């Protein structure tokens, strides 16, 4: 399988995959991003996120993945490693409850765009997502060209 | 020379008066027949001698505890052997340990019971401080779990509140506000669980506790640790009689055992928590499928400061404290393990330990 070139869908701000096992996180994030014009797809853990992206006949195109770390089944660290190899152009933003500097450095080295520690304000979230989506649009443009 | 030697009755009296422990001899009606001077000093009151009083009025032990102890003493065949003290009690902020023993008079049919009591207030205070120090030392891993458990709902609170600020539909505002109430309550629960765990055991009274329930609560605490990973949890809780103990102490034992099990499995494996009740014995068990304990180390793991963990990862006090706490309530703790094949810690108490 080659690189997926997930470009922003025209007419919208972009599509964001929100991966978090807690509905107390997914609900406000979805509401905030939807209000700001993004389309939001949700997954409860790493395994579901990979399934969502990987459905064979109709692979889902997303512009940014917002991912928690501590989750059941496939956790954020394993899921991010997978996203980075299978979908290297899709920016990943981590949003976690653990302020862990070592982990943040490791993940940034793996190409994670941003490392947000909960609680994340609306402004901070929208800035991080908008930067990531813009970056993806630029990258996707390069690949299409 | 010969004149200076004490005659046997005097000598016995002198020994009993000088003993560093208090001695009481009681008859079958539980009346005090003899009290040495130290017993009078600690437990007597001015104007009333101990001899002749009911022992129930002298030592603060419950009726059921007395019955249990007297039964045990009857069955006890005075063979010299290592026997754990029968228990502890507190009188006027001083802590005492005691042990009962049968006294068989040569010419009397009636069996008497001796009680030897010694003060352990200072050891007790040291032990309590050590227990608290270990609890604080092991707090590091629990705190990072707490960060997760608190930051998640706090994010929910912040997020929903920011959305409410811009929301005009009253129905939606109501819905989001209800979410906030739920998230805030969750934060409160996490904080109060942690505060209860950290509370020094000395502030805690002995209460009736359910070992299955405490295992479940300890699991909740350890589960917050990010290193819990993908550990599968199996619980086999049979109803067991309640145990009289300080809740924080039993929690500390279970949190220690479950934390060790999780560390031994390195985020993958099966953790089994079980309680059973057979005859008079209550059993609580924590098993893991982790790296196990090498045979050569099995008899060292309950020693204070013994640890195989890297510096800074363990105090080496967890299991030794678990051992002390369990022993304090008349229980036993043992381990079965093989290197590479996991470990099972079994704790047993006698029902009606009070």
pLDDT at B13: 85
Using CB atoms, pick whichever of A24, A99, A121 lies closest to residue B147: A99
Using CB atoms, pick whichever of A70, A73, A119 lies closest to residue B158: A119
User: What average pLDDT score do residues B45-62 get?
Assistant: 82
* A96: closest CA of chain B, how far (Å): 8
Distance set, CA B110 to CA B9, B35, B56, B75 (Å): 21, 18, 20, 15
Q: Residue A50: how many CB atoms within 10 A of its CB?
A: 18
Using CB atoms, pick whichever of A28, A97, A118 lies closest to residue B163: A28
Name A105's Cβ contacts closer than 8 Å, sequence gap at least 6: none
Q: Pick the residue with more confidence: A7 or B97?
A: B97
Q: Which residues of B touch A75 (CB under 8 A)?
A: 229-230
Q: Give the C-alpha separation, B8 to B5, whole Å.
A: 9
Instruction: Identify the band that residue A4 occupies on the pLDDT scale cut at 50, 70 and 90.
Output: very low
Q: Is the pLDDT of residue B245 over 60?
A: yes
Q: Which residues of A touch B144 (CB under 8 A)?
A: 98, 100
Q: Is the pLDDT of residue B3 over 60?
A: no
Are the CB atoms for B301 and B335 separated by under 8 Å?
yes
pLDDT at B333: 93
φ, ψ at B94 (rounded to 5°): -105, 140
Are the CB atoms for B107 and B91 separated by under 8 Å?
no
Closest to A94 (Cα-Cα) out of B223, B224, A75, B163: A75
Using CB atoms, pick whichever of B159, B166, B182 lies closest to residue A28: B159
Q: Is the pLDDT of residue B155 over 90?
A: yes
* A80: closest CA of chain B, how far (Å): 16
* A77: closest CA of chain B, how far (Å): 11
* A2: closest CA of chain B, how far (Å): 31
Percentage, residues of chain B above pLDDT 70: 88
Q: Do A28 and B152 lie within an 8 Å CB cutoff? A: no
Evaluate whether ipTM surpasses 0.90.
Answer: no
Residue of B nearest to A100 (CA): B144
Instruction: Identify the band that residue A11 occupies on the pLDDT scale cut at 50, 70 and 90.
Output: very low
Q: Which residues of A touch B179 (CB under 8 A)?
A: 24, 27
Q: Which residues of A touch B180 (CB under 8 A)?
A: none
pLDDT at B328: 83
Q: Which of A72, A75, A98, A119 to mutate to test binding with chain B, by most B CBs within 10 Å of its CB?
A: A119
Q: Residue B242: how many CB atoms within 10 A of its CB?
A: 16
Q: Pick the residue with more confidence: B258 or B92?
A: B258
pLDDT at A2: 41
- Residue B336, burial from CB neighbour count under 10 angstroms (0-12, 13-18, 19+): middle
Q: How many CB pairs under 8 A join A and B?
A: 75
pLDDT at B1: 47
pLDDT at A145: 42
Which helix H or strand E contains B276, and what residues bound it? Answer: strand B270-278
pLDDT at B156: 94
Q: How far is CA A74 from the centre of its chain?
A: 15
What's the per-residue H, E or C state across A4-23? CCCCCCCCCCEEEEEECCCH
What's this model's pTM, rounded to 2 decimal places? 0.59
Q: Which of B159, B225, B266 to mutate to test binding with chain A, by most A CBs within 10 Å of its CB?
A: B159
Q: Which residues of B touch A29 (CB under 8 A)?
A: 159
Distance set, CA B87 to CA B243, B249, B326, B342, B353 (Å): 14, 16, 12, 33, 10
pLDDT at B268: 87
Q: Give the C-alpha separation, B323 to B65, whole Å.
A: 22
Q: What is the pLDDT of residues B14-30, one digit of tens each?
A: 888 888 899 999 988 88
Residue of B nearest to A126 (CA): B159
Q: Give the C-alpha separation, A112 to A65, whole Å.
A: 10
Residue of A nearest to B187 (CA): A24
Q: Pick the residue with more confidence: A44 or B128?
A: A44
Which range of B222-226, B245-249, B313-317 scores highest in mean pLDDT? It is B245-249
pLDDT at A56: 61
């Amino acid at each position: 399988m080659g690189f997926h070139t997930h470009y922003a869908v025209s007419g919208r701000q972009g599509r964001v995959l929100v991966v978090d096992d807690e509905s107390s996180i997914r609900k406000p994030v979805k509401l905030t991003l939807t209000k700001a014009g993004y389309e939001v797809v949700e997954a409860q853990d790493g395994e579901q996120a990979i399934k969502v992206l990987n459905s064979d006949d109709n692979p889902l195109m997303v512009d940014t993945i917002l991912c928690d770390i501590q989750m059941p089944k496939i956790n954020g660290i394993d899921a991010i490693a997978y996203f980075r190899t299978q979908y290297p152009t899709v920016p990943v933003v981590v949003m976690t409850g653990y302020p862990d500097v070592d982990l943040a450095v490791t993940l940034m080295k793996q190409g994670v765009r941003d490392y947000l520690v909960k609680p994340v304000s609306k402004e901070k979230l929208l800035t991080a997502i908008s930067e990531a989506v813009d970056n993806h649009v630029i990258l996707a443009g390069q690949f299409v060209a | 020379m010969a004149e200076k030697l004490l005659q046997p009755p005097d000598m016995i009296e002198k020994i009993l008066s000088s003993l560093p422990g208090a001695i009481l001899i009681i008859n079958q009606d539980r009346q005090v027949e003899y009290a040495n001077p130290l017993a009078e000093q600690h437990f007597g009151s001015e104007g009333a001698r101990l001899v002749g009083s009911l022992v129930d009025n002298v030592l603060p032990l419950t009726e059921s505890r007395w019955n249990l102890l007297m039964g045990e003493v009857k069955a006890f065949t005075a063979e010299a052997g290592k026997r754990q003290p029968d228990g502890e009690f507190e009188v006027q902020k001083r802590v005492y340990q005691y042990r009962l023993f049968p006294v068989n008079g040569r010419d009397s049919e009636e069996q008497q019971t001796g009680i030897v009591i010694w003060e352990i207030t200072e050891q007790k205070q040291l032990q309590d401080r050590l227990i608290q120090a270990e609890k604080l030392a092991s707090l590091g891993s629990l705190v990072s779990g707490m960060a997760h458990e608190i930051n998640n709902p706090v994010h929910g609170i912040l997020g929903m509140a920011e959305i409410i600020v811009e929301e005009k539909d009253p129905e939606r505002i109501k819905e989001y506000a209800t979410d906030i109430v739920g998230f805030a309550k969750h934060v409160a629960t996490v904080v109060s669980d942690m505060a209860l765990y950290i509370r020094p055991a000395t502030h805690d009274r002995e209460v009736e506790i359910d070992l299955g329930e405490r295992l479940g609560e300890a699991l909740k605490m350890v589960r917050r640790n990010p290193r819990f990973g993908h550990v599968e949890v199996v619980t086999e809780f049979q109803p067991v009689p309640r145990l009289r103990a300080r809740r924080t102490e039993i929690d500390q034992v279970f949190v220690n055992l479950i934390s060790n099990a999780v560390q031994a499995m390195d985020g993958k494996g099966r953790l089994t928590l079980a309680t059973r009740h057979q005859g008079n014995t209550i059993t609580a068990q924590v098993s893991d499928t982790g790296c196990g304990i090498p045979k050569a180390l099995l008899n060292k793991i309950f020693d204070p400061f013994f640890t195989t963990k890297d510096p800074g990862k363990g105090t080496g006090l967890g299991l030794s404290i678990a051992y002390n706490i369990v022993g304090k309530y008349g229980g036993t703790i043992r381990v079965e393990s093989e290197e590479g094949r996991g470990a099972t810690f079994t704790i047993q108490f006698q029902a009606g330990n009070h």
